[in-house]
Amino acid sequence: MDPSFRPLHPTFVAEAGPIDLATLTDPGGLQTIRAAMHRHGVLVFRDQHLDDANQLAFAQRFDGALHAKTGAAALGANRFGNEALTDISNVDEHGELFAADDRRRHYGLANRLWHTDASFVDPPGRYSLLSARVVPGSGADTEFADLRAAWDALEPALQQRVLPLHAHHSIAYSRAVLGFEFSADEAEQLRGVIQPLVRVNPVTGRRALYLASHASRIVGMSLPEGRLLLRDLIEHATRPPFVYRHRWQVGDLVIWDNLATMHRATPFADTRERRELRRVTTLDLPLP
């Protein structure tokens, strides 16, 4: 049975149900979810008790090739032995909470900045699928911003100014903003790429701003002017009318379109409470 979709926000985000993604192989059902992603940008699936293999397999059925060149890979291999399965957790390879001064914890703090997954590689990330395995007692929500609605709300003159622009994206930049220091070898692995500042959905034709804390500069613009424009656009795109806050429950799987949304983590007592999530991100390759 195909899922139904209940809107959770006036401009984007819907909750899907009922469906078991681990066993969904029907092409029609997968296409129904893809169509809903084009419409809503973010989908929430409850009671999806996936293991790592289920999550990876569903992501491949849903959207093909997986992103495996994560920024964290420059610091060392993840604890799962598969870089396509990104560890969004606050525990080490022994299952112990990160100490307050752990370098991996400091790296992860940048997830609290507004960002877009895998904008710093080519091809960039398209869909991210985040599965909640362990959730703390309070906090640790995720906020999403609708970059399509943000584009629509720009003044026409600013739309025309922004439309032809490109920005350099580097995950090293977003971490450096918070004082994280990379070795020369790590920085070389995270040099980043140039991305357009506006994306067009090839199915719907809708435009969206393409923003992230990884965006370090605008090509052809002075550094101060470019960074001010990026700051102003992010402030515009994250105003309350464009933002949805997701409160996680164990078993949630949330899928979002990185070419149409930004997101950020919110704080929690991460040196005292455990939080374990797994993320798989697909690559923005041509649609079949």
The pLDDT-based confidence of 79 (bands split at 50, 70, 90) is: confident
Q: What is the DSSP letter of 158?
A: H
The pLDDT, as a whole number, for residue 288 is 63
Residue 209 CA to residue 9 CA, distance in Å, equals 19
Q: Peptide bond preceding 286: is omega within 30 degrees of 0, i.e. cis?
A: no
Three-class DSSP category at 126: strand
Q: What is the mean pLDDT of the chain?
A: 94
| pLDDT for 253 | 98
Q: How far apart are CA 148 and CA 263, in angstroms?
A: 14
Topology of the domain comprising 4-283:
Double-stranded beta-helix (3.60.130)
- 269-285 mean pLDDT: 96
* Percent of the chain surpassing pLDDT 90: 83
Cβ pair 265, 140 in contact under 8 A: yes
Average pLDDT over residues 98-114: 93
What's the rounded mean pLDDT across residues 106-112? 93
pLDDT band at 275 (very low <50, low <70, confident <90, very high): very high
pTM (predicted TM-score):
0.95
What was the pLDDT predicted at 77?
72
Q: Distance from CA of residue 144 to its chain's centroid?
A: 9
| Domain boundaries defined on the chain | 4-283
* Structure tokens belonging to residue 212: 């992230």
What average pLDDT does this structure show over 113-130? 96
123's tokens: 């091809």
**Per-residue confidence band for 174, with pLDDT thresholds at 50, 70 and 90:** very high
d(CA 157, CA 127): 30
| pLDDT reported for residue 60 | 96
Paired strand residues for 131: 253, 278
Distance, C-alpha 60 to centroid of its chain: 17
Integer Cα distance of 58 and 30 in angstroms? 10
Query: CA-CA distance, 273 to 264, in Å (whole number)?
Result: 19
- pLDDT for position 250: 96
Residue 81 has what pLDDT?
Answer: 82
Q: Residue 1: is its pLDDT beyond 80?
A: no
> Which residue spans within 170-223 are E strands per DSSP?
193-196, 198-200, 207-209, 215-218
Query: Which band of pLDDT confidence, cut at 50, 70 and 90, is reported for residue 207?
Result: very high
